[in-house]
Structure 1
Amino acid sequence: MVPSSSPPSHSRRAVLRLLAAAGGSAALATALAACAPSSRPPLASGDVDVSFWTHDDGYVAFFSDAVALAEADSPFRYRLDITKVGAADIVTKLIAQAVAGTGTPDVVGLEIGAFSRMLRGDIAPELLVDLTDAVAPVADDLVTARLTPFQKDGALYALDSDTPLTVYYHREDELARLGIPAELGTWEEFGRTGAALADREGLALGAVATSDPGGTVQSWHIHLLQRGGDLFDADGQPSLETPEAEDALAFVAQGVQSGALATVADMYGPSMQSGLKSGKILGVNMPSWYASYGIKPNVPEQEGMWRVAALPRFEGGGGRTGVGGGTGFGALRGKAATDAGVHLVTTAYLEPSQQIARYKALGYLPTRRSVFESAELAAVEDDYFGGQRLFEIYRDIVDDVPEHHQSENSAIMTTVLSGQLLRAYRGDVSPAEALATATADYRGQARG
């Protein structure tokens, strides 16, 4: 609706432009329904041009290859019009084009952090198709924890590309030389062993990011999820003041202070690469996709030296794995290519053959539970990891995958929490104090 204070001569779309320019995101979300695309009869068959937005070349190739399968099982003949947009910019551009009333895509890939912005007001339901009915035939087979980050009020607006289970990447040769078992029973044992190693050899068993706010929070969040906690509860309210959060933060803070965990600017750049190349960092707890995007690109010359293991447990409880990252693909509603877009997304992401192909091509784990029983995937050997059959590890821990809840104010949480995590790492405050302060700061800023 147009605010009552707006001049009558302003169109609804013009008012929304003013709101967007002024940074009135809450008002924009509420008013977006006033200029959402009018529903047009979708094409039912024939040639269809599908505008496709993504931030990653890997998705470009994957969806391009999926076109043939989508055409074989539908009356559509697809032509993809592909646009690459930065992951952090894609929601801004999507909303701007919706406000302008033109130029929105038919299919869009939303990185998990970016998707949280779609939860504000009615943005997701006004712009994206609810995919609940589209996935109903296979709903009982989906890894339900990976639906949660892309849902709002029980509706599903995107399909995740991955079940990004966290595992322990480690230098098998170095741990063997040092007499350290690769599979320590608990994180507490890991911390004690790592502290002794740091004191004796100046080496670290793990690493955490400490420069970029998003990376800083993710490095801790993956431990929190494994411990059984989360940043938000199912209602999108902060859930930091819990025993689970305090345990997870105490472990990481003690690890940083003892040297068991090295601090790096981020998990991909020069400081991480230097630690891996020099052999100062002997392991890292990261999601399954980190093999392809972190370890192999940073130290290709160390092929055959690395292995993957399931994580230690926390003595206080929790599961055997966390999760980190993800990208959801959805279709825009009210467009000529809406039905074709939904079919492309569901075919590309839910067909078992495509789930297998996605793992082989991109290293992304299936989102259908039955595909974790695939003999074809179980037999895949990774030469970089000494011929290890990594999928056997993933299959063994997938039933412990935790839910990851989001909030429309996730960006605020990242900002306030990252600073408090660093204070706890330095020993300036206790874990309980850091989490309480982050919660109070979050509530104040989210209210504002």
Structure 2
Amino acid sequence: MADMSRRNFLRSAGMLAGSVAAAPLVAGCGDGGKSKATQSGAVKLDFWTHDPGYVKTYTASAKAANAAKTYPFTFSLGVTSLAADAVVTKLIAQAQAKKGTPDIAGLEVSQFPRMMKQNIAPSVLVDWSSELNDEQKSDLLRLADYTVDGKAYALESDTCPTVLYYRPDLFKKYGIPEDVGSWEELQAAAKGALAAGKALGICCNGEPGAALGTFRQLYQQRGLNLFDESGKPTIDTPEAVAVIKFMADSLKSGFFTMVPDPYGAPNAAALKSEKLIATFMPNWYNVYGLQANVPKQKGLWRVRTLPKFSAGGGVGAALGGTGFAVVKDKPNTQAAIDLVKYTYLTKAGQLLRFKTAGYLPTMKSLYDAPEFNTYTDAYLGGQKVFPIYKEIAAQAPPFHQSADATTLIDALGGAIQKAQTGAISADQAVKDAMAQYESQTK
């Protein structure tokens, strides 16, 4: 992957902070709400995304929906490819101008807080809460990520469950059981590997958001996230202190190794040299991290649920994602709604997404479907992975967002980086982050 592609994917994982300027209030909706709605026939939907995988997915979905003849429209796409942050920047600008907005836009989860500012999302986007029935709402995973004041404005495209990637051959070499139950047990079992200069995870000293990626996944295991449902920070907790201390102690012992981010040359070198014999990242890291950097290690890696913390919590964690939103009050709004519904609210659409680009089902009920459970991953040695994903998806805590998310990412990520080096304690890192956040959001 090129350096810019790595940065874009880091942003999609919610791992880079990125500057976010407050946008002026968007008055009105879509392109002004004056155009006559298309009722049927051929429609070309303006489709904005940062990732070619979504272009491939929606192109296939449009063809399948046309063949199914469930809807009164014949779909095609007019694709605009933009960087992740540019999708939101341009969407807001065009909404202000009341022209040139897309019909469908893929909003990276780390960029959605920008849509929460100054009533932008409710003014511009279709409220999916009014489009979904109660059964669909209870079946869909990760609606909270794109919710403002109890209303959801995008549908998540992947559940992004975090797993422990590990090398069973090297675990065997160093006497590490593959089924250890806790992080503490894994640390004790890995002493021989650590003595040989091996590591079983990473912490990041690049941009603050990269450091926060490691923290967030471990913190979710304790059943917590960065914000509560009201948008208030939920990091001033004993669990946050414990996780940061665990990260710092793991670096000191060599259990984790320090890299700028999970994608660049230092991390790739650690994988290639077999210094990094395990790492925890979401399902998509299989393709964008391992296969991109160590394709010759095909068949050597496996995945399992994360070890638990002995102090409490579970295995549920996730990182990254992209929600698909529809701009309201446009001629093709209903057609756009129908295509997104086919893609995410039907079994056929969900299965097509997985076969086309590897996106996991976002409906809980499909994790028991034989079409998914019989899948084996060639890179992971033919392993059946869906039973693992199902267990994680069922436990991951809701990821609530805030319009001030970037401020917290910068503050907490920077404080964690200091704690990782021993410059400050874990407790002080939380205090400093909260003080910086509160001073900037008053």
Q: Is the structural similarity TM-score above 0.5?
A: yes
Q: Which residue of structure 2 lines up, in the alignment, with residue 87 of structure 1?
A: 84
More helix by share: 1
2: CA distance, partners of 1:357 / 1:393:
21
Counterpart amino acid of residue 170 in structure 1: Y
Q: Which residue of structure 2 lines up, in the alignment, with residue 232 of structure 1?
A: 227
Q: Which residue of structure 2 lines up, in the alignment, with residue 367 of structure 1?
A: 362
Retained in 1: the 8 A contact 2:31–2:100? Answer: no
Q: 2:409 aligned to 387, 407, 414, which one?
A: 414
Q: Which residue of structure 2 lines up, in the alignment, with residue 152 of structure 1?
A: 148
Q: Report the CA distance shift for 1:398/1:79 in structure 2 as closer, same or farther (over 3 A).
A: closer
Counterpart amino acid of residue 97 in structure 1: Q
Root mean square deviation of aligned Cα: 1.7
Q: Which residue of structure 2 lines up, in the alignment, with residue 12 of structure 1?
A: none
Q: Percent identity?
A: 39
Retained in 2: the 8 A contact 1:207–1:264? Answer: yes
Q: Report the CA distance shift for 1:75/1:143 in structure 2 as closer, same or farther (over 3 A).
A: closer
1: CA distance, partners of 2:440 / 2:134:
42
Q: Which residue of structure 1 lines up, in the alignment, with residue 9 of structure 2?
A: none
- TM-score (norm. length: structure 1): 0.90
Retained in 2: the 8 A contact 1:195–1:259? Answer: no
Q: Deviations over 1:39-77 (max 9, x none)?
A: 234211112221000000000010001113333211112
Q: Which residue of structure 2 lines up, in the alignment, with residue 165 of structure 1?
A: 161
Q: 2:119 aligned to 112, 122, 135, which one?
A: 122
Alignment of 1:282-431 (within 5 A): 282-431=277-426
Give 5+ residue unaligned stretches, structure 2: 1-19
Task: State the Cα distance separating 1:381 from its structure 2 match.
Answer: 1.1
2: CA distance, partners of 1:172 / 1:415:
36
Task: State the Cα distance separating 1:194 from its structure 2 match.
Answer: 4.1
Q: Deviations over 1:189-235 (max 9, x none)?
A: 2234445532x111101112220222211121111111112111111
2: CA distance, partners of 1:444 / 1:42:
47
2: CA distance, partners of 1:107 / 1:171:
40
2: CA distance, partners of 1:34 / 1:151:
20
Retained in 1: the 8 A contact 2:201–2:276? Answer: yes
Q: Which residue of structure 2 lines up, in the alignment, with residue 176 of structure 1?
A: 172
Retained in 2: the 8 A contact 1:207–1:283? Answer: no
Q: Which residue of structure 2 lines up, in the alignment, with residue 202 of structure 1?
A: 197
2: CA distance, partners of 1:361 / 1:424:
42
Counterpart amino acid of residue 123 in structure 2: E
Matched, 1:251 2:246: yes
Corresponding residue pairs, total: 420
Retained in 2: the 8 A contact 1:208–1:263? Answer: yes
**Helix, strand or coil at the partner of 2:258:** strand
**Helix, strand or coil at the partner of 1:47:** strand
Retained in 1: the 8 A contact 2:343–2:353? Answer: no
Q: Which residue of structure 1 lines up, in the alignment, with residue 182 of structure 2?
A: 186
1: CA distance, partners of 2:352 / 2:29:
39
Matched, 1:39 2:36: no
Query: More deviation in 346-355 or 123-132?
Result: 346-355
1: CA distance, partners of 2:439 / 2:87:
27
Q: Report the CA distance shift for 1:389/1:35 in structure 2 as closer, same or farther (over 3 A).
A: closer
Q: Which residue of structure 1 lines up, in the alignment, with residue 427 of structure 2?
A: 432
Counterpart amino acid of residue 276 in structure 1: L
- TM-score (norm. length: structure 2): 0.91
Counterpart amino acid of residue 100 in structure 1: A
Task: State the Cα distance separating 1:181 from its structure 2 match.
Answer: 1.2
Retained in 2: the 8 A contact 1:194–1:259? Answer: no
Counterpart amino acid of residue 109 in structure 1: G
Q: Which residue of structure 2 lines up, in the alignment, with residue 275 of structure 1?
A: 270
Counterpart amino acid of residue 22 in structure 2: S
Q: Report the CA distance shift for 1:81/1:35 in structure 2 as closer, same or farther (over 3 A).
A: closer
Retained in 2: the 8 A contact 1:421–1:434? Answer: yes
